[in-house]
Structure 1
Protein backbone atom coordinates (compact mmCIF):
# COMPACT_ATOMS: atom_id res chain seq x y z
CA UNK A 1 0.00 0.00 0.00
CA UNK A 2 1.15 3.49 -0.71
CA UNK A 3 1.80 6.13 1.86
CA UNK A 4 -1.20 8.12 0.63
CA UNK A 5 -3.49 5.12 1.25
CA UNK A 6 -2.17 4.87 4.81
CA UNK A 7 -2.73 8.59 5.28
CA UNK A 8 -6.26 8.43 3.88
CA UNK A 9 -7.21 5.47 6.07
CA UNK A 10 -5.83 7.22 9.14
CA UNK A 11 -7.71 10.42 8.26
CA UNK A 12 -10.98 8.51 7.79
CA UNK A 13 -10.64 6.73 11.12
CA UNK A 14 -9.73 9.95 12.93
CA UNK A 15 -12.63 11.73 11.22
CA UNK A 16 -15.09 8.99 12.15
CA UNK A 17 -13.99 9.25 15.79
CA UNK A 18 -14.10 13.04 15.99
CA UNK A 19 -17.08 12.95 18.35
CA UNK A 20 -15.64 10.25 20.61
CA UNK A 21 -14.83 10.97 24.22
CA UNK A 22 -11.36 9.76 25.15
CA UNK A 23 -10.00 7.78 26.87
CA UNK A 24 -11.89 4.85 25.32
CA UNK A 25 -11.53 1.97 27.73
CA UNK A 26 -13.16 -1.04 26.02
CA UNK A 27 -13.66 -2.50 22.54
CA UNK A 28 -17.42 -2.05 22.99
CA UNK A 29 -16.98 1.66 23.79
CA UNK A 30 -14.74 2.07 20.74
CA UNK A 31 -17.30 0.48 18.39
CA UNK A 32 -20.04 2.63 19.94
CA UNK A 33 -17.93 5.75 19.28
CA UNK A 34 -18.12 5.25 15.51
CA UNK A 35 -21.09 7.02 13.83
CA UNK A 36 -22.51 3.77 12.37
CA UNK A 37 -21.07 1.49 15.03
CA UNK A 38 -19.44 -1.65 13.64
CA UNK A 39 -20.83 -0.86 10.17
CA UNK A 40 -18.90 2.40 9.85
CA UNK A 41 -16.86 1.87 6.69
CA UNK A 42 -13.50 3.23 5.56
CA UNK A 43 -12.91 3.14 1.79
CA UNK A 44 -9.75 4.02 -0.13
CA UNK A 45 -9.57 2.72 -3.69
CA UNK A 46 -10.16 -1.05 -3.58
CA UNK A 47 -9.60 -1.17 0.18
CA UNK A 48 -12.73 -1.39 2.32
CA UNK A 49 -12.77 -2.03 6.06
CA UNK A 50 -15.57 -1.71 8.59
CA UNK A 51 -15.08 -0.64 12.19
CA UNK A 52 -16.15 -4.16 13.18
CA UNK A 53 -13.39 -5.68 11.04
CA UNK A 54 -10.85 -3.18 12.38
CA UNK A 55 -11.87 -4.01 15.96
CA UNK A 56 -10.87 -7.64 15.36
CA UNK A 57 -7.28 -6.42 14.96
CA UNK A 58 -7.25 -4.99 18.48
CA UNK A 59 -6.50 -6.74 21.76
CA UNK A 60 -7.83 -6.02 25.23
CA UNK A 61 -4.30 -4.98 26.22
CA UNK A 62 -4.41 -2.16 23.61
CA UNK A 63 -6.93 -0.29 25.75
CA UNK A 64 -7.42 2.40 26.88
CA UNK A 65 -6.93 4.55 23.80
CA UNK A 66 -6.25 8.19 24.51
CA UNK A 67 -6.89 9.60 21.01
CA UNK A 68 -8.41 8.85 17.62
CA UNK A 69 -4.91 9.08 16.14
CA UNK A 70 -3.72 6.27 18.43
CA UNK A 71 -6.61 4.06 17.24
CA UNK A 72 -5.92 4.90 13.59
CA UNK A 73 -2.18 4.29 13.87
CA UNK A 74 -2.63 0.87 15.49
CA UNK A 75 -5.33 -0.27 13.05
CA UNK A 76 -3.22 0.76 10.04
CA UNK A 77 -0.18 -1.03 11.49
CA UNK A 78 -2.02 -4.24 12.38
CA UNK A 79 -3.89 -4.33 9.05
CA UNK A 80 -0.58 -4.09 7.21
CA UNK A 81 -1.74 -1.05 5.26
Structure 2
Protein backbone atom coordinates (compact mmCIF):
# COMPACT_ATOMS: atom_id res chain seq x y z
CA UNK A 1 0.00 0.00 0.00
CA UNK A 2 1.51 3.28 -1.12
CA UNK A 3 1.04 6.28 1.14
CA UNK A 4 -0.45 9.29 -0.68
CA UNK A 5 1.78 12.33 -1.16
CA UNK A 6 -0.19 15.21 0.35
CA UNK A 7 1.91 17.84 -1.42
CA UNK A 8 1.32 16.11 -4.78
CA UNK A 9 -2.45 16.23 -4.16
CA UNK A 10 -2.18 19.91 -3.19
CA UNK A 11 -0.31 20.70 -6.44
CA UNK A 12 -2.93 18.80 -8.46
CA UNK A 13 -5.70 20.79 -6.79
CA UNK A 14 -3.98 24.11 -7.47
CA UNK A 15 -3.35 23.16 -11.10
CA UNK A 16 -6.97 22.09 -11.56
CA UNK A 17 -8.51 25.15 -9.91
CA UNK A 18 -6.12 27.88 -11.05
CA UNK A 19 -8.17 28.59 -14.17
CA UNK A 20 -11.25 29.62 -12.22
CA UNK A 21 -12.32 33.26 -12.13
CA UNK A 22 -11.35 34.32 -8.59
CA UNK A 23 -12.79 35.12 -6.18
CA UNK A 24 -15.12 32.12 -6.31
CA UNK A 25 -18.26 32.15 -4.18
CA UNK A 26 -19.36 28.52 -4.47
CA UNK A 27 -18.23 25.14 -5.80
CA UNK A 28 -20.24 25.46 -9.02
CA UNK A 29 -18.00 28.34 -10.14
CA UNK A 30 -15.03 25.94 -10.10
CA UNK A 31 -16.42 23.35 -12.52
CA UNK A 32 -15.61 25.20 -15.78
CA UNK A 33 -11.94 25.42 -14.73
CA UNK A 34 -11.53 21.68 -14.24
CA UNK A 35 -9.71 19.82 -17.03
CA UNK A 36 -12.29 16.99 -17.12
CA UNK A 37 -15.20 18.83 -15.53
CA UNK A 38 -16.90 16.85 -12.77
CA UNK A 39 -14.98 13.72 -13.84
CA UNK A 40 -11.64 15.28 -12.79
CA UNK A 41 -9.79 13.05 -10.32
CA UNK A 42 -6.88 13.63 -7.97
CA UNK A 43 -4.51 10.72 -7.34
CA UNK A 44 -1.41 9.85 -5.38
CA UNK A 45 -0.41 6.44 -4.05
CA UNK A 46 -3.52 4.65 -2.83
CA UNK A 47 -5.49 7.91 -2.79
CA UNK A 48 -7.90 8.57 -5.66
CA UNK A 49 -10.87 10.91 -5.40
CA UNK A 50 -13.03 12.67 -7.95
CA UNK A 51 -13.78 16.34 -7.56
CA UNK A 52 -17.37 15.41 -6.66
CA UNK A 53 -16.14 13.05 -3.95
CA UNK A 54 -13.89 15.79 -2.59
CA UNK A 55 -16.88 17.84 -1.54
CA UNK A 56 -18.11 15.01 0.70
CA UNK A 57 -14.70 13.64 1.64
CA UNK A 58 -13.29 16.94 2.78
CA UNK A 59 -16.07 17.87 5.20
CA UNK A 60 -14.39 19.24 8.29
CA UNK A 61 -14.91 17.50 11.61
CA UNK A 62 -14.08 20.64 13.60
CA UNK A 63 -17.41 22.28 12.81
CA UNK A 64 -15.88 24.74 10.35
CA UNK A 65 -18.02 25.76 7.43
CA UNK A 66 -16.71 25.96 3.90
CA UNK A 67 -14.34 28.85 3.29
CA UNK A 68 -16.12 30.43 0.34
CA UNK A 69 -15.42 32.88 -1.09
CA UNK A 70 -11.88 31.88 -2.02
CA UNK A 71 -9.47 34.46 -3.37
CA UNK A 72 -6.80 32.03 -4.66
CA UNK A 73 -6.49 28.41 -5.74
CA UNK A 74 -3.84 27.94 -3.03
CA UNK A 75 -6.28 28.91 -0.26
CA UNK A 76 -8.90 26.56 -1.70
CA UNK A 77 -6.40 23.69 -2.02
CA UNK A 78 -5.17 24.22 1.55
CA UNK A 79 -8.72 24.03 2.95
CA UNK A 80 -9.47 20.87 0.95
CA UNK A 81 -6.24 19.25 2.18
CA UNK A 82 -7.02 20.26 5.79
CA UNK A 83 -10.51 18.78 5.48
CA UNK A 84 -9.22 15.53 4.01
CA UNK A 85 -6.67 15.28 6.82
CA UNK A 86 -9.33 16.02 9.45
CA UNK A 87 -11.44 13.08 8.25
CA UNK A 88 -8.44 10.76 7.85
CA UNK A 89 -8.39 10.57 4.04
CA UNK A 90 -4.85 12.03 3.87
CA UNK A 91 -1.95 11.82 6.32
TM-score, with normalisation over the residues of structure 1? 0.81
Q: Paired residue for 1:70, among 68, 75, 78?
A: 75
**2:25 aligns to what?**
25
Offset of 1:55 from its aligned partner?
2.1
Offset of 1:47 from its aligned partner?
0.5
Kept after mapping to 1: 8 A contact 2:70/2:76? yes
Offset of 1:19 from its aligned partner?
1.4
Offset of 1:62 from its aligned partner?
1.8
**1:10 aligns to what?**
10
Q: Which runs of 5+ in 2 are unaligned?
A: none
Higher helix share: 1
How far, CA to CA, are the matches of 1:34 and 1:24 in structure 2? 14
Offset of 1:61 from its aligned partner?
4.3
Segments of 4+ moved more than 4 angstroms: 58-61
Structure of greater Rg: 2
> How many pairs are equivalent?
80
How far, CA to CA, are the matches of 1:52 and 1:68 in structure 2? 17
The farther-off stretch of 33-42 and 63-72 is 33-42
Q: Which runs of 5+ in 1 are unaligned?
A: none
How far, CA to CA, are the matches of 2:33 and 2:68 in structure 1? 14
